[in-house]
Amino acid sequence: MEGSATSNLYTRAEQAARTIRSRTSTQARVAVVLGSGLGGFADEFQDAVRIPYSEIPGFAVSTVEGHAGTLVIGRVGEISVVAMQGRVHFYEGYTLEEVTFPIRTFKLLGIDTLLLTNAAGGINVELSQGALMVISDHLNLMGTNPLRGPNDERFGPRFPDLTEVYSRNLQDIAIQQARALGVEIRRGVYAALSGPSYETPAEILMIRSFGADAVGMSTVPEAIVARHMGIEVLGISCITNMAAGISDQPINHEEVMETAVRVRATFTELLRSIISNLNSN
């Protein structure tokens, strides 16, 4: 049973990769996952090919506003990039295998660098609404792990080391490019919970005591799976709201989307600059 389950995942990822290759001749080494309200970055790609998730075997379709559900392959300057305009989430009812399946597919496409973006709630009071945060580490508080179950050694080892989930080199590139652009950014720890309800003030107090600077409902499963396969990871959070208890304002998804739209130009300029400088480091 174990061999059958693991080989089936690998086979399905191969099928998805073949489908994508059949639609484009571009060979990308960099992939980007664009979080809530940030999908517009991929609309700027040159020579872009767009593939709806529904046309890629194994790709689940997002049910959340702000996640278009399209894979975009194109160029950012001289760099070929694959971008996910939106992701699916554990809270939508998908399994973590389904949530992370695109990352498995990226590995088989030859991707070796993954940029993960998200909209997050700010816990650290020095992170104001609209601020950007480079993820230095994470807390997996989702109650499960995307590597749970049979392991396929073709993807990676049974017990992968997560000492450095988020590449220090990529973090440094992001900080350097932000400073060059005059964009305020800081490093911080991202805590992932399952959602979909926002956290209570008591939960935020607990998470803050654990050392988290921001909180969200994504990114961590993708990062774990990417590191399992040896892909370098950079994570950047857009602080779209202050977490419960940090501010006395109620939290809603519309506020998250509005803030993401407000900072989109700055965020996309930073992403473009980071990607353009990957080969020079």
Helix residue ranges, H only, 110-241: 168-181, 201-209, 220-228
Catalytic residue among 31, 53, 67, 97: 67
- 273 is annotated as an active-site residue: no
Contacts of 153 (CB under 8 A, 6+ apart): none
Kindly name the residue from 13, 16, 28, 119 that is annotated as catalytic. 119
The answer to whether residue 281 is catalytic is no
Examine the residue annotation and report whether 209 is marked as an active-site residue of this protein: no
**C-beta of residue 54 within 8 angstroms of C-beta of residue 69:** yes
Q: Is 89 a catalytic residue?
A: yes
What is the token pair recorded at 248? 């006395």
- Find the catalytic residue in 178, 241, 243, 273: 241
Number of CB atoms found within 10 A of residue 2's CB? 10
- 138 an active-site residue? no
92 has catalytic annotation: yes
Strand duo 132-140 + 70-76: pairing: unpaired
- Helix, strand, or coil (residue 279): helix
**Contacting residues for 28 by C-beta, under 8 A, at least 6 apart:** 73, 80, 81, 82, 109, 110, 111
Angle among Cα 57, 60, 63 to the nearest 5 degrees reads: 150
Catalytic residue among 118, 218, 237, 273: 218
Active site residue 67: yes
Structure tokens at 199: 């956290």
List, in sequence order, the alpha helices (H) in the chain: 2-23, 96-109, 168-181, 201-209, 220-228, 253-276
Q: Which of 13, 42, 83, 89 is catalytic?
A: 89
Active site residue 60: no
Label residue 252 left, alpha or beta by phi (over 0 means left) and psi (-120 to 50 means alpha): beta
In terms of DSSP bridges, do strands 113-122 and 132-140 run parallel, antiparallel, or are they unpaired?
Answer: unpaired
Instruction: For residue 234, report the phi and psi dihedrals to the nearest 5 degrees.
Output: -125, 130
Q: Which of 28, 60, 178, 217 is catalytic?
A: 217
Q: Is 8 a catalytic residue?
A: no
Active-site residue identified among 91, 151, 206, 257: 91
Q: Are strands 214-216 and 70-76 parallel, antiparallel or unpaired?
A: unpaired
* Catalytic option among 10, 164, 253, 277: 253
β-pair partners for 30: 81, 113
Q: Catalytic residue numbers?
A: 36, 67, 89, 91-92, 119, 217-218, 241, 253
